[in-house]
Amino acid sequence: MSAFWAIVQRDLRINLGAQGAALTTILFFVLAISLFPLGVGPEPQLLARISAGVIWVAALLAAQLSLDRLFQADHEDGTLDLLARAPLPLTLTIAAKLLAHWLGTGLPLALIAPLLAIMLQMDSAALPALLLALLLGTPSLSLIGGIGAALTLGARRGAVLVPLLTLPLLIPVLIFGVGAVEAAATGLSASPHLLLLGAFLALALVLSPFAAAAAVKLALE
């Protein structure tokens, strides 16, 4: 497990570094949400009605920004070949890189989302549901996105291909995430939606590292 956490720490340092994608992802998320009041108007009722969808769509798109570089940089400099030949199974190596991606992108998005939701006039009763939904949903964005990044490894225009492959698979996360927030805002229980997000995350945790590792092996052959 020391090798696993070493990979997590390495990738996290790269993501949070001066040339990392974490800051770009967070800035895109903040700017995209901040533009909506300017585009649709400052009416509080309108902003409150669309706030859940705006935040989730922005998070979904922001998470896609850095996925094309998830494996590409290591593939170009030969690091990925060395990691594939290391004693640590490639599946665990991929899992470590996906965990680092979520810690550097998905987790910050989930933590700052309630502040942006207040700007969009979201009901305060829905803020805990928003945070829980994002904490359950954003890992799925990294896990499913990792499969797309692995499938397009070495391909030209990979930055365009990854969203085309992954966004259709992430529609359930978007639906259940928005549903949880809207249910809490209307006084209903968000638990069914959160449980479905948890089930989707559990399935992605089991399948995504193996699928991404298989795709990486094909790219390295």
- Degrees (nearest 5) of the Cα angle 121, 54, 143? 130
Going by pLDDT thresholds of 50, 70 and 90, the confidence category of residue 19 is low
Contact 34, 115 (CB under 8 A): no
If one counts every other C-beta atom within 10 angstroms of the C-beta of residue 138, the result is: 26
Residue 160 has pLDDT above 80, yes or no: no
Give percent of the chain with pLDDT exceeding 90.
53
- CA-to-CA distance for 118 and 26, rounded, in angstroms? 17
Average pLDDT (152-171) is: 81
- The better pLDDT of the pair 41, 149 is held by 149
The band of 157, judged by pLDDT with boundaries at 50, 70 and 90, is low
SS3 helix, strand, coil % of the chain, rounded to 5? 85, 0, 15
Pairwise CA distance, residues 50 & 45, whole Å: 9
Joined together, the tokens standing for residue 137 give: 């949903």
Is the pLDDT at 44 greater than 80? The verdict is yes
Average model confidence (pLDDT) for the chain? Answer: 89
| Angstrom distance (rounded) from CA 124 to CA 136 | 20
The pTM assigned to this predicted structure is 0.91
pLDDT of residue 31: 93
pLDDT in tens, 61-109: 998 887 877 888 788 788 888 888 888 899 999 999 999 999 989 999 9
- Predicted local distance difference test score (pLDDT) of residue 20: 60
Distance CA 179, CA 60 (A): 15
CB atoms within 10 A of CB 118: 12
> Cα(65)–Cα(68) distance, rounded to whole angstroms?
7
SS3 79: helix
| 94 CA to centre of own chain | 15
pLDDT for 18 equals 52
How many angstroms separate the CA atoms of 81 and 51, rounded? 44
One-letter amino acid identity for 111?
A: L
Lowest mean pLDDT of 14-28, 29-43, 54-68, name the range.
14-28
* pLDDT for residue 29 is more than 70: yes
Count of domains observed in the chain: 1
Q: What are phi and psi of 173, to 5 degrees?
A: -65, -45
Report the pLDDT value the prediction gives residue 141, as an integer from 0 to 100: 93
- Across the range 109-116, mean pLDDT stands at 94
- Write out pLDDT tens, residues 172-201: 999 999 999 999 999 899 999 999 999 999
d(C-alpha 9, C-alpha 48), whole Å:
38
**What is the model's pLDDT at position 139?**
95
Percent of the chain topping pLDDT 70: 95
